[in-house]
Every structure is written in C-alpha cells, then in structure tokens.
Structure 1
C-alpha cells in the first residue's frame, strides 16, 4: 500500500535547511553584525596569523616553478578547508551558529574597507596629501609617492570597488554555498593571491597557481557584485540604468577577468571614469578607461563607501537566503 506523502516529514538529509542549516545562516548574519561592530582587530587577526604561517611555508617550498607554487597553495588552502570541516562538525545548533559567526567575522573586511575609505577622504578633504599617500597602501599596492589629489581619489574608488567583492561579497557567497569550510578556504585563496600572485621576477611562476585559483574563486562573486552595484546605484545618487550600461560595455576591458566587473559597475553608478595609468613600484600598467563621466574627485570617495556598504548589506541578505536554501547533506 503506497504511503501518502502527507504522512512523511522531510528529514535534514532530504530537503530543507534543517536545524544546522538555520544555525549556519543565522551565524553568518551574526558574523556580519560583528564585523559592523568590531571591524578587524589591530593585533592577532586570524587572517594575519594565516599569512604568517603561509609566509613561513613559502620559505621552505619556494622555487621558481609553477609546481612549487601549486604545492604551496594546496597545503595552505587545504589546511584552511580542513580546519573549516573540523569546526563545522559541531552538532549543537547554538555552538554551530557561534562557529559560523566567528568564521564569518574573521573573513569579512567590509567595515575596515569603509573606514579606510573614510580616512582617505578625511585626509584629502583637509588637503593633507602626505597623510593620504601614507594611508593608500592600506587599500592597494599602487605607488602613492607621486600621486596628487585626483590620482589618490581614483585609486581609492577603484580599490573600494574591487575589495567590495574580495572582502565582502565573495566570502559571504562561499560561506552560503559551502559553509564554514567555504569561508575559510576562500579567505585563504584571496590572501595567497595578495601575497604571491604578482607579476614580478620572484612570483611570476611561483604565484601562478594562487592567482589563477583566485580568478576562479572570484568569477561568480565579482559578477554578482556588479549586479548588486547596479541595483544599489541610487544609494550613491546614481542611475541603475547607467551603471548597467557601463558594466555591460566596459566590464570585460580590465586586465583582471573579475576586477573590471566591479570597477565598471562603480564607474557607472558614480558617473565617473575609472582606469588609466597605474604605477606599482618599477612596473607601469596602462589600463583601459571605464565609464563616461568625469574623473573621480574627493567627494566621490564617500559616495563609493556608501555604495559599497549598500552592496555589502544586500549580499549579506542574499547569502542568508542562499544558506537557508542549501540542503543539509548529513545523513538523516
């Protein structure tokens, strides 16, 4: 005799988020709140500790070959993912939510990004070019020594645009679809790219694996950032239609397959033109321009911070919904 489906309740391994799924989703939301309240600690940040460990391992594994770099990435990212798996095995919903909250807080950088943008704006608004030049390395690796007000403003807006994906949208998305292991593994990938994913004599081959893996990990988040920026454009006094047009036309023109989507969307939302010549130490890059508006000005920095904050909040809400929709695959 067939059993009526009305008499069968779905177990956690069949459908629905289950108690642990709800705990993780709410834990991520709590982690977003912690980031808003606490930002990044000045000492003892988990990402900084990971960076020191990765640097120590690099000294042992370094060789001017892709294979050495791939081994370095595999060990670093694999260790972070395994730590996430171990942490995610906590059974009690409250403990699981707490683990997710701490992990989310440790990988997010949205509040610190906004504060750095506000600090740059304050320096430039007061005419303190020396202070702004000294602060820019907190945001990007561009050489600030010869940048004037306009160049500093453009560098800040571009960095806020790109890091809105790297520091906010991407970790939230990976946490939503892959839980605590996704949060930690993504931050490991992104940190390694910042450490060794450079095009210079030392890292062109050794850093190749880190750079390519970061491109893959950010492919979807960067495009999601572009779409959310389009929707949030009115928050910065911009036009969603214009932001969408610039994103569609210019997003692929950037040397990075991902950063261009974020910068083009910000350029359209703020109605400015981004891109141009950038100096990184002894290396000079000439990037295509994106957008149709004027060059960024000091006042655009605070507008970009507001836009990034709105995108971050939207991404947090979306991540919670995705996390609730992802099935808990533990055995029923």
Structure 2
C-alpha cells in the first residue's frame, strides 16, 4: 500500500510539472479546447434550467461540477496503479485547466496595443481579460484594468488549479476548473444572474479561499518584496468586495509598488473595488511588469503543487 501511494504521489507531482511546462510552451489549444466545450455544455444546460432563483442555479452548478469531478475521480482511480498512465493523465488534465500562458499572451497583446496608442483596439481587446465596460476608458485606465485582471487571473487560472491538483489530483484539477468557469459565466451581480449565479459564485469563493492566499504569499516572494506585499494585503484587502481577489490584488499592488482599485463599470452595474496600495496608479509600462511577475508566481505555484503532492503521498502512505 505504501509503495502504491508513493508511486501515485510521484506520478501526480511529475504530471503536474509536465502539464505546467506544456502550458508554458503550448498555451491553450487553438481549436477544440475542452474548457470551451464545457462552456457550451453549461450554456445549453442553463437554457433548460434557468430560473431567477438560487435553487435553479444550485442544481445547474451541482450537475456540472459533480459530473466533472466524478469523471476526474474515475480517471484518477483507473490510472493511479499505473505510474506512466497516471503521469500522462495528470499532465493532460493540468495542461487542460491551466490558463497562465494564454493570460500572459493577452497581457502582451494589451501592452503592445497600449504602447502603440491604439486605444480603440485596446478597448476591444480588454473583453478577453475581464467584463468591464471599456467604452470610455483611456490608456491608464485600460492599463489598470489589465494589471488587476492579470493579478486576479493569476490566482484563478494558474495558482488555484495547481494547488487543487497537488491536493486531490485529477478530480481536483477538473472540479476546480469547472467551478471557476461557471463563476465566470454566471457568477455576476447583474439582474439576470443575481440569484441564478449565487451558487456558482459562492462555490468559487470557497474553493479559492486557500489558493488565493497562497498566491498572495507567492506574489510577495516572487517580487522580492514580501513585507511590502503582506503589509498592503493585511491593510487593504478588506476594502475589496471579493474575499479572494482582495488579497491577491492587494499583494500585487504591494509587490509592484502601485495603487490598484477604484470604481469599475460593468455595463449593467458598477462596483467599488476599494483602493489598494501606496504607489502611483498603473501606467502602460506596468502591464509588462505585472505579466513578468505573474509568470514567476506561476513557476513558484507549480513547485508548491508538486511538493504538496509528494508530501500528501508520504503522509497517507
């Protein structure tokens, strides 16, 4: 039993690292992305189940997250006694759920547009990163939106899935990605989703409680400014309406010596994100700085996930 558990832990750790490397090298598949396919399935189920109620949203979330997590559990159990297959399956799942390289590409695209002063194109491109209404945003506000989106998505698209992969393996990877994708689809405070998206939003909050704080710690360490990042996190994170985006964005603000936050317009509603940090507001030059920091955070998170997998295997072996 100890040998089987140890082999499973080692293959899980190796699979996570290989999947992370695949994401860094390849990014998301250009066509037939499994997450995009899930989004289409979720949208079809939403059309059948939608009602302006929390109960309908809870059923929608339970079916989608539960089914995917069980599928991941089946794959995990079928392969865990076969190290090569288990490594390959874990690597494939990790590559599928990570979005770090694609996030970096979007940041690079936004940086290039802003540096070229192509504001109309940058406004259009911002929709690839977040749901803000960019109609009236100028260069520095577009830069702020990009920096904040990179920070938040570094946790959601990179650190959190890696942490859950390290703890639970394939079901953790797939279950987290499905829950986070649902939150991105229906977890808004808009009139349509205020009730229907409640369950997805609350589940995403719960699943990100620990990973977001791991991301916040890694951000300070990766920037070489752990004290500054932690100080801003402790002081300012509570100003943010999100219990998880607050620590992450505050840590990025401290790590980059910037001031983030403010009132964001999402078209049908506005949200005050508080004021995070002590430095100047972001400018165009800060977009590439933020992307570089996010890349270092991702490498650190992959290492933490692999160590978690090994440590957990030894404890249960």
User: In which range does the TM-score fall when normalised by the shorter chain?
Assistant: over 0.9
What's the CA shift for 1:11? 2.2
**Normalised TM-score (structure 1):** 0.92
3-state SS of the aligned residue for 2:274? Answer: coil
Map 1:1-332 to 2 at 5 A: 11-12=2-3, 17-88=5-76, 89-90=78-79, 91-234=81-224, 239-327=225-313
**1:166, distance to aligned residue in structure 2 (A):** 0.1
Residue pair 1:12, 1:327 contacting (<8 A) in 2 also: no
Give every structure 1 segment of 4 or more consecutive aligned residues whose post-TM-superposition deviation is greater than 3 Å: none
Say if 1:197 and 1:113 are closer, same or farther in 2 by CA, change over 3 A. same
| SS of 1:202 mapped into structure 2 | coil
- TM-score of the superposed pair, with normalisation by structure 2: 0.96
The structure where helix makes up a greater share of residues is 2
Return the index of the structure with the highest Cα Rg: 1
Q: Judge conservation of contact 1:219–1:258 (CA < 8 Å) in 2.
A: yes
The RMSD of aligned alpha carbons is 1.5
* Cα deviation digits, residues 78-137 of structure 1 (max 9, x gap): 111011012112232111100000000000000111111111111011111111111100
How many residues of Structure 1 are paired with residues of Structure 2 in the alignment? Answer: 315
Which stretches in structure 2 are left out of the alignment for 5+ residues?
A: none
Residue range with higher mean Cα deviation, 248-257 or 176-185: 248-257
Q: Which runs of 5+ in 1 are unaligned?
A: 1-9
Distance between the aligned counterparts of 1:86 and 1:151, measured in 2? Answer: 46
What is the CA deviation profile of residues 197-220 of structure 1, one whole-angstrom value per residue up to 9, with x for unaligned ones? 111221111110000000000000
Residue deviations 1:175-210 (CA, integer Å, cap 9, x gap)? 000110000000000000011111122111111000
